[in-house]
Structure 1
Amino acid sequence: MIKILVGLCLFIVLIGLWKVVLKFQINQHFQQFKIKHLADLDKQAVTSTKPLSAHEVRIEEVEEYEQQLFDDVCQIFFERELAERNLSQAIVVQEEVLKKMPAKTHSQIRKLDLDEWSIYWTFYDQSLEYYVGRYGVFYTYVDRFGDEHKFEMKDALSHV
């Protein structure tokens, strides 16, 4: 009976040692893999900082219907003649317009000095800005052809 218990204990100790050694080897292999991967990333970073040749130029295709969608949403925005001045409603305005825009449209709200703020939407080279200032509300929109469109609602009480 004692021989069986000693054999069983020895077997458990051998399995434990085997697991520790195996874990050590796996950990060492993982560390080497990680170092190699970081070295590859450094090489890519160094090679990507040099200017791109004519064959390496990365072109991102933009679908025409997405550009048209951005232009259409901007036109609708201009037609609404929104005059929201409350900064607390800026997120509502931002989300309302953004949900109609193409999926890759970026947007941000900027709070400026003197209680002025703006919402800015961009889609590649196109942009729409809703700016609330001391003297009124201003829209600026750059369409897919690079033409700039403006709309102003100046306050009657503004004086310089």
Structure 2
Amino acid sequence: MVKLLIIIVFIISAFAFWKVFCKIKINQAFKSKYFAKLNAVKVSVTKASAHTSPEIVEVVDEYEQQLFDDVATIFLESKTHDMAKTNAVNIQENILSKMPIQTQTSLRNLDLEEWSVYWGFYHQSLEYYVGRYGVFITHVDRDGLEHQYTYRIQD
């Protein structure tokens, strides 16, 4: 019985060691691939800046733009129409936690009990506006196309 328990513990520890080893190898491969791309982009940016005027060039990964658009599309499709000002911070934090790190956000309190939450990522934006007449959600994607959702209050 003791031998069986020792064999089971040995198998479990070997499996755990194998999983940790694979995770380390995958992480190293990802880092080397990511840093190789990053170095290539930096080299091309420095070459371009040497031949052109001294403009600031910001490198934005495509997956971050896609992530922003995907989160905004899911938010639009959810057709949220929460008008309570007390839930504004929750909405802001919930969406911001899913967005890329560089995303800027602001919560604005306007006149007549109106408020809005704005998320911006370079040239992309998402706004959740609550007014007297309803909820309006506007998203400008990475291609510059505007998508809207409107929930109007019937008087």
Q: Assess same fold via TM > 0.5.
A: yes
Amino acid at match of 1:134: R
Shift of 1:57: 1.1
Shift of residue 143, structure 1, vs aligned partner:
0.1
User: Take 1:149 and 1:109, find their aligned partners in 2: how far apart are those partners?
Assistant: 20
- Tell which deviates more after alignment, 111-120 or 53-62: 53-62
Q: Of the candidates 130, 135, 138, which is equivalent to residue 136 of structure 2?
A: 138
Shift in Å, 1:101: 0.2
* Residue in structure 2 matched with residue 112 of structure 1 by the alignment: 110
Partner residue in 1 for 2:100: 102
Name the larger-Rg structure: 1
What do residues 92-125 of structure 1 show as CA deviations (whole Å, max 9, x unaligned)? Answer: 0000000000000010100000000000000000
Q: Note the alpha carbon deviations across 1:32-70, whole angstroms, 9 max, x for none.
A: xxxxxxxxxxxxxxxxxxxxx933111001000000000
1:147 equivalent in structure 2: 145
Structure 1 segments of 4 or more deviating over 3 A?
Answer: none
Work out the percentage of aligned pairs sharing the same amino acid.
51
Q: How far has the Cα of 1:153 moved from its partner?
A: 0.4
User: 1:29-108 residue pairs with structure 2 within 5 A?
Assistant: 54-108=52-106
Indicate the SS of the match to 2:65.
helix
In 2: Cα distance, 1:55 partner to 1:155 partner: 52
Pairs aligned (count): 105
2:121 matched residue in structure 1: 123
The 3-state SS of whatever aligns with 1:104 is coil
What whole-Å deviation, never above 9, does each CA across 1:105-155 have from its counterpart, x for those lacking one?
010100000000000000000000000000000001000000111110001
TM score, norm. by length of structure 2:
0.66
Counterpart secondary structure, 1:137: strand
Report what 1:16 is aligned to: none
Given residue 70 of structure 1, which amino acid in structure 2 is its aligned partner? F
Please report the RMSD computed on the Cα atoms of aligned residues, expressed in angstroms: 1.1
Quote the Cα distance in structure 2 between the aligned partners of 1:155 and 1:88: 19
Partners of 2:115 and 2:56 in 1: CA distance: 35
